[in-house]
Amino acid sequence: MAYTNLSLLALCMLPTFILIIFLKLILRPHPTKIPIKSRHVFITGSSSGIGLALARQAAAEGALVTILALDYNLEEAKTSIKLSTGADVIMLKAEVCDFGAVKEADQGVFVA
């Protein structure tokens, strides 16, 4: 009797597990690769850390990179990207929180 109940429970649970596995395979998010070659990438806070790594990766993939930061290491970051990727980088110094300063810094970089 116990084996019969256990078998019945297993038969009832089997479709549920199959459905869960099927849904995980179908609804799993798939990463999307967006090509950035020949695009203009504008990265703020790019004098160090994640911003610098993103700028280096974008330059390596063939994007035109503009880096913007208030930090004085910006020239060093530009040189680092140039040495590691061979790509030219546009460098802007401005306080990101000040919209007027950013707008003034990017005059001539972006053409409407």
Q: Quick one: pLDDT at residue 97?
A: 84
Question: pLDDT under 50 in the chain at which residues?
Answer: 112
- Phi, psi angle pair for 32, to nearest 5°: -110, 130
Q: Quick one: pLDDT at residue 92?
A: 86
H/E element, 68: strand 64-69
Q: What confidence tens digit (pLDDT) does each residue in 32-51 have?
A: 788 889 899 999 888 889 99
Give the pTM: 0.65
Q: Quick one: pLDDT at residue 112?
A: 47
Domains and CATH numbers, the chain: 40-97 (3.40.50.720)
In the structure encoding, which two tokens stand for residue 93, read together?
Answer: 């110094």
